[in-house]
Structure 1
Amino acid sequence: MSRRQIILDTETTGLYPDSGDRLVEFAGLEMINRQMTERNLHRYVHPERDMPEEAARVHGLTIEVLEEKNAPPFAAVGSEIAEFIRGAELIIHNARFDVGFLNMEFARMGLPSVEELGCEITDTLAIAKEMYPGQKNSLDALCTRLGVDRSKRVLHGALIDCELLGEVYLAMTRQQFDLMGGASEENQSAAAAAPVSVARTGRLKVIRANETENAEHEQYLDSLGEACLWRRGETQA
């Protein structure tokens, strides 16, 4: 039997799990043999603290919204989340961020860490950086590049982001899967026979980042802290 894969995402009050920020939404979608199953887990979580305005602008989850949803504290759902992901391969975009928050929340409850639960972690951001070096590799950028419809994504949300990430992951790993014999001979033959047309123009079209993409870029640089070579270069310049 193939190992379970969980497409996973979280939303939080901020960027720093070691400085008082808390998890406010968890979503995980199960996939087996590259097919989504009907098993998933989606929970809103009350952070038991205030919600910074900048975080609410990203995901739309104010304390009032969470209370309207009767969101419980993490202590009420932590064991359920831990059991859901136990032993699975976790597919996460910028995995260090989400795993850091899950491990912080698990530790507060005395639960095992993600690693201790036997999870393997696959970071789609790392895959994207290897496949598309020097390009923007946010989830939005990858959806655009790979033809994944993200029209329903008005705000960041763990559930919708999982759905998009699942499609992005399948698209990025399709060739590798085919090389491992995952595709049928009929599909492989059709793919080989299909003509490939590459449009060429005299000059490249420059697509500049919009305000949301710039904000996501800055958020990611913030999450790197002192390890961010880009910020170091700006300081030294």
Structure 2
Amino acid sequence: MSRAVLFDTETTGLDPLTGDRVIEIAALELHRDLPTGRVYHVLIDPERDIPPEASRVHGFTREDLRGKPTFDAVIADFLEFIGDDPLIAHNAPFDFGFINAELARLSMPSLAAGRMIDTLAMAKARFPGLPNSLDALCRRFDIDLSARTTHNALLDCKLLAEVYVELTGGRQRGLVLAESVTRITATYTHDLAARIPRPILVPADDLARHAAFVARLTDPVWGA
């Protein structure tokens, strides 16, 4: 898989079929499972209230989003960013469900389920019976969570990108080893260049005994 897009949403609630809406979309471009630096991020006016329990999760209130573009104004840019490539998300059916509900409101085609890569399902398969939330996986893989005070789609994408690399075994640990070898080699070369030559002096009687020994050999290499 050469290109993929990792994405996350924040919403007004848990069920798009009862009127909950998307309020934030973030996406990161991956190339061979590693971030390229290309990012898509937008805040969206949901055109409805945001329940306090939802605000406590992601930190956004209705006033924060008033005047932001509506979903119909941003969807073209999002679809252009994701292209036709695989889409990675943690608990992907949730994010796909919300995006597809928004697309249905606009009579637009849904995101195909075949594009879905669910990191939650991957984590459950690898760590059955253990907590596999994004926070739990970050702690398991020793990924810094200090900036995550609320659910933020862009930050969650950046954290998930690190988790995804760990889940797929894609971390190129050999590069770290190569860097260490390079550093050691450079240090050795520097020390070698700075070393003062010390000639080894062989006593004359040792040289004479060696010559006598070689003289007894048939076609000795040392005599060439």
Category of TM-score, reference length = shorter chain: 0.7 to 0.9
Correspondence for 1:85 among 79, 82, 86: 82
- How far apart are the structure 2 equivalents of 1:76 and 1:95? 23
For structure 1, list consecutive stretches of 5 or more residues without a partner in the other structure: 192-237
Q: Does 1:102 align with 2:99?
A: yes
Moved over 3 A (4+): 188-191
Correspondence for 2:69 among 51, 64, 72: 72
Amino acid at match of 1:163: K
Q: SS of 2:63's equivalent?
A: helix
Give the corresponding residue for 2:116. 121
Q: How far off its partner does 1:86 sit?
A: 2.3
- How far apart are the structure 2 equivalents of 1:149 and 1:72? 32
1:17–1:101 contact (8 Å) kept in structure 2: yes
Alignment deviations for residues 1-24 of structure 1 (CA, whole Å, 9 cap, x no partner): x53211110000000011100000
- How far apart are the structure 2 equivalents of 1:163 and 1:189? 21
Q: How far off its partner does 1:50 sit?
A: 0.5
Percentage identity across aligned positions?
48
- How far apart are the structure 2 equivalents of 1:173 and 1:47? 35
Q: How far off its partner does 1:110 sit?
A: 2.0
Amino acid at match of 2:158: E
Amino acid at match of 2:52: E
Give the corresponding residue for 2:28. 29
Q: How far off its partner does 1:88 sit?
A: 1.2
For structure 2, list consecutive stretches of 5 or more residues without a partner in the other structure: 179-224
Cα RMSD, aligned residues only: 2.0
Pairs aligned (count): 178
Q: Does 1:152 align with 2:147?
A: yes
Q: How far off its partner does 1:121 sit?
A: 1.0
1:78–1:105 contact (8 Å) kept in structure 2: no
- How far apart are the structure 1 equivalents of 2:109 and 2:176? 47
Amino acid at match of 2:107: G
Q: Of the two, which has the highest radius of gyration?
A: 2
Give the corresponding residue for 1:54. 53
Alpha-carbon spacing, 1:110–1:149, altered in 2? closer, same or farther (3 Å) = same
Give the corresponding residue for 2:161. 166
Q: SS of 1:48's equivalent?
A: coil
Q: SS of 1:7's equivalent?
A: strand
